[in-house]
Structure 1
Amino acid sequence: MSALTNRLTVIFIPPYVTVGPVEGRTYTLTHSDETGELFLSVGGGIDSSKIDWKMRDEVIGTWQIRGGQYYLVCSVHISAGEFDENKARARYSIFKEEMPLALKGIINGDKGLFGYYPWLLNAPVQVEFCSIYPEFNQVMYYGLARHYQEG
């Protein structure tokens, strides 16, 4: 068992289960600053019960089809004006630094899906950093889902 697996808790919200469906599948990844634990909800929409609405440090992911190809599209909230530019800069920097770990949490937390649909591991991963400040309002390519798969 990897260190990630030991600190990752996954819940599935019916009708979403380990093997599907893919359509509408949404990930809500949160964490505990105190323990370093990661929490992943897999369901048909954002698990708003898991979001800290003051901190807004969640990562949301969805499967989308574009041009006939599946993409894993994730988004993070940097600032809609509630954080000043300095705080937004810090949030942006932290999210960029921690994004590979977050993506590992999503991909490894839903490993049953990839066992059933292994071709999804070839899906490109895109991350949208959402901010009112133009320099932090970015869309970045993070390689393929398989790059975040552990053993």
Structure 2
Amino acid sequence: MEKLQHDQFSVAILPPATAYHPVDGRKYTLIMSTGEMNCHLAIGFKYETDLLNAEKEKIITAEWKPRLGEYVLTGKIDLGSLNNFHLMQAELAKAISMMVKADKGLYTHVPWLLDAPIYMEIDSYIHKYKTIQYFGTPRQYLK
């Protein structure tokens, strides 16, 4: 397991995944602690939700999927009953940035992913916040 640590952000690439493989089905699990500013990102073939403490943490999942001849990074966050939708959108953009930057080596070997679209599904008990939004491309987050 390859592990990188930056202050309060850790990244683990879980075998058999590597920094460059796979693209199809490459899954990201970002666990963000709400009390502290700790984040843990796992990259692999499956989502790593067993480390989650649901009361104190929120989870963002994402996966590379082929769609209509191109790759798309699709993800999901469950807001529950969170009322501050705009604050969450800023956090989500920061979380996507962390995922993209942590997996920078992948884009070196698969450069066409730099211009692939990123879509995030926001799930909430409050119907008006339940949506799928476009969050740009990995290239935008690497600048």
- Give the TM-score band, short-chain normalised: 0.7 to 0.9
Q: In the alignment, which residue of structure 1 is the partner of 2:3?
A: none
| 1:148 aligned residue | 141
1:27-38 map, 5 Å: 27-33=28-34, 35-38=36-39
TM-score, normalized by length of structure 1? 0.82
- 1:15 corresponds in structure 2 to 16
Match of 1:115 in 2: 108
- In structure 1, the gaps of 5 or more residues are none
| SS at 2:55 equivalent | coil
Q: RMSD of the TM alignment (CA)?
A: 2.0
Using the aligned pairs only, state the percent identity.
26
Taking structure 1 as reference, are residues 33 and 133 closer, same or farther at Cα in structure 2, changes over 3 Å only? closer
Following TM superposition, by how much is the alpha carbon of 1:6 offset from its aligned partner in structure 2, in angstroms? 4.7
1:131 maps to what in 2?
124
Query: Retained in 2: the 8 A contact 1:56–1:77?
Result: no
Q: What is the deviation of 1:53?
A: 2.2
> Which of these residues, 96, 100, 107, is aligned with residue 103 of structure 1?
96
Q: Aligned pairs, how many?
A: 139
Between Structure 1 and Structure 2, the one with more strand by share is 2
Unaligned segments of structure 2, at least 5 residues: 1-5
Higher helix fraction (1 or 2): 1
Quote the residue 1:57 is aligned against: 58
Deviation at 1:55, TM superposition (A): 4.3
Whose RCO is larger (CA < 8 A, sep 6+)? 1
Contact 2:32 2:40 in 1 (8 A): yes
TM (norm. structure 2) is 0.86
Q: Distance in 2 between matches of 1:17 and 1:47?
A: 16
Deviation, 1:13, is 1.1
Shift of 1:35: 4.6
Matches within 5 A, 1:61-100: 61-79=62-80, 83=81, 88-90=82-84, 92-100=85-93
Q: Which runs of 4+ in 1 moved over 6 A?
A: none
1:40 partnered with 2:33? no
